[in-house]
Amino acid sequence: MWELFRESILPINLLYTIVLGLTLFYWLTVFLGGLDVDLIDFDVDVDADIDVDVDADVDASGHGSGFSLGKLLHFFNIGDVPFMLILSFMALFMWAGSVMFNHYYNNDSFLLAFGLFFPLFIVSLFLTKFCSAPFVKLFAAFDKQQDRSVIGSVCIVKVSANEHQLGQADVDTDDFHQLINIKTVPGLILNRDDTALILEYNEEGNYYIVDQSS
């Protein structure tokens, strides 16, 4: 145990250790009841000056070109489970990978440790996808308890959507705030920052059908 602690506080591992320690402190505070799980956690939204939807070009039939940032985030369960859960898994796997690699290869080079960051990030991302997968249905079931309460509400589009392409929208009611998956009524294309009216919930696809807000 002492050896693990000593390895964890080495300069080449210290950043990963700090991030992991902060996430552990967050969950400890939540479990002890001193912090609401939603207080620090937040919905993932790419706030940038560019359109986050890579496949913004839509053909005449309304189909996208096949790739979007929203789909990529959804693939890794980002937005389907709390972001702090994703961050916690990532922090754990990247810390463990850094400590083990630097220990077994006797590495003390900051340059090699820096070069290790990207491979660690990619491997940890896929491990996080695997470990967070069981939580997707759990939080989806929780969200279904709120499905009917958002119908009729107005939402703000965050990731472009049409009747075929899944997008995301931000909805804020008196009781809660959340990021939801959306598709539009036939023939409608909605872009980022458009407003839309939530009409109904599609349980099979786990998304809401929206129309243009007047």
Interatomic CA distance for residues 58 and 60, integer angstroms:
7
Domain assignment present for 62:
no
User: The pTM is what?
Assistant: 0.59
For residue 56, give both structure tokens: 């913004």
Q: What is the CATH number of the domain that holds 152?
A: 2.40.50.140
Report the sign of the C-alpha dihedral through residues 212, 192, 68, 198, in that order: negative
Same domain, 105 and 157: no
The residue range of the domain holding 28 is 2-40+76-144
Q: Could you list the pLDDT tens digit for every one of the 214 residues in the chain?
A: 788 888 888 899 999 999 999 999 988 887 776 555 554 554 444 433 334 444 444 443 444 444 567 678 878 888 788 888 999 999 999 999 999 999 898 888 989 989 999 999 999 999 999 999 988 887 776 666 555 678 888 999 988 999 999 888 988 776 667 788 899 999 999 998 999 999 988 877 778 999 988 7
The predicted structure's pLDDT at residue 187: 92
State how many domains the chain has.
2
Q: Which residues pair with 196 in a beta bridge?
A: 155, 212
The predicted structure's pLDDT at residue 24: 93
Domain assignment present for 124:
yes
Same domain, 137 and 153: no
